[in-house]
Structure 1
Amino acid sequence: MKLIETLSFMLLAMAVAVTAQNPVLDTSGEPLRRGAEYYIKPAITDNGGRFTLIDRNGSCPFYVGQENSSAAKGLPVTFEPFFKEENIVRERRDFKVSFAAVTVCVQSTTWQLDGELISTGDDGAGFNNYFHISPGQVESTYFMGWCPQDPCLPADCSWFRCGQVGAIVENGKRLLVWDGNPAIPVVFERA
């Protein structure tokens, strides 16, 4: 009986935790929704362009980066919150993010942590695909980061070194990096 009560309490606590966080808002003030397409772009216009796939070295996988110009269109992404019943992307909650695009690489366009860089691919089992969004200092701006929490329940993820997404320039290409300094403040525009 105690086991059933404990499990019921844990499920209720998880449900309350999911709904307790503020929704992430797009540039129209609407919450980001599971499966809807959005462009991610820097909140500061001289900080590169919209997010896109980058061919880093002429082979797969593709990497996540930015267009060099703020005028370039970039590629839209979709979000998949960790909790299957959640249809809204919430601040500080884990989700997968994928480009809504087809590539010559026969693999997923889901973002994953790949050392310090962010590449594409989905092993389906690990923590490397879960990102989160935290509020920026300016209203309706956000920072993206990597610090899995939701996939860790009930495991302990305190050993992870968390970080925010920034960019580096490599051979004229703007690549997104984990624990980038400085982090890139972003906004989300419905595609």
Structure 2
Amino acid sequence: MMKLFSLFLVLLFIHTFASAASSPVLDTDGEELKPDVEYYISFNDYGPSGGIGLPRGWGRLKCPVSVIQMLQDDIGLPVIMKPVKPSESKILENSTDVYISFPGSLTRCPGGAASWRVEYVESVKKSLVVAGTFVPNPSSYFRIVQDPREINGYVFATCPNISGLQCRKLGLFGVGDQDRLAVNDQPNDLPYKFWFVKKENVGVIQLPK
């Protein structure tokens, strides 16, 4: 009887762990995120409430362009996401790596590409998130991580595929008069917390269910 009970506990633990690891990412309606669908990244923390986008006049800027937090109450630009590892699943799951891009022709890169990647910028001694030509390597991998303190709230992290390097969350880094999306590398750096909002819901955003 004791052996059967111990086996039951082990199976229960495995089931619970697997369920947590494969939980779907949810939008503000409580619905599962889908690849290749447009969503806005809506700030859900204290402070300026701008979403994520590109600087004004981005079409005239060089390639690549820094990804920034927009000004107060500007929700920014929609993004589309695709899993790094192709899957038959039709939803995006928590703690999996995705490619992120702004849809459409937005930059002066070839084809107007606006795919996200991490790039170290020597002038500011910081790894920033930029949008431009798609680069299929770990610099373009972004992990969606659930924020346990928020209903349907998330943060982004970058997880270098290098032994000994840990995942680091994305936050904001001030350069001039702009707050740029950047890789947190200091103990007191705060993550950029957000909700995913369907494109068609902009203008009628509701709090998560």
Give TM-score, length-normalised by structure 1: 0.77
Matched, 1:95 2:65: no
Q: Tell me how far apart the structure 1 counterparts of residues 83 and 20 of structure 2 sit (CA, whole Å).
A: 12
2:178 pairs with 169, 173, 176, which one? 173
The CA deviation at 1:92 is 0.7
- Aligned residue type for 1:32: L
- Gap runs ≥5 in structure 1: 1-16
Distance 1:81 1:131 in 2: 9
Which amino acid is 1:135 matched to?
Q
Provide the residue aligned with 2:168 in structure 1: 163
2:100, 2:52 → 1: CA distance? 12
Among 54, 59, 83, which residue is 1:81 paired with?
Answer: 83
User: Structure 2: which amino acid aligns with 1:77?
Assistant: V
Larger-gyration structure (1/2): 2
Tell whether the 8 Å contact from 2:42 to 2:75 is kept in structure 1 after alignment. no
Contact 1:40/1:187, CA 8 A, preserved across alignment: yes
CA contact (8 A) 2:100 2:142 kept: yes
Aligned to 1:118: 129
Count of residue correspondences: 166
Q: Distance in 1 between matches of 2:64 and 2:19?
A: 32
Counterpart in the other structure of 1:42: 43
119-128 vs 21-30, which moves further: 119-128
Structure 2 unmatched ranges of 5 or more: 1-17, 121-126, 200-209
- Tell me which of 177, 182, 185 is aligned to 2:190: 182
Partner residue of 1:145 out of 152, 157, 174 = 157
Letter aligned with residue 105 of structure 1: R
Distance 1:59 1:142, change over 3 A: same
Considering only aligned residues, what root-mean-square deviation do their CA atoms show, in Å?
2.4
- Which residue identity lines up with residue 52 of structure 1 in the other structure? G
Instruction: Indicate if the aligned counterparts of 1:117 and 1:177 stay in contact, CA closer than 8 A.
Output: yes
User: Do the aligned residues in 2 keep the contact of 1:81 with 1:87 (CA within 8 Å)?
Assistant: no
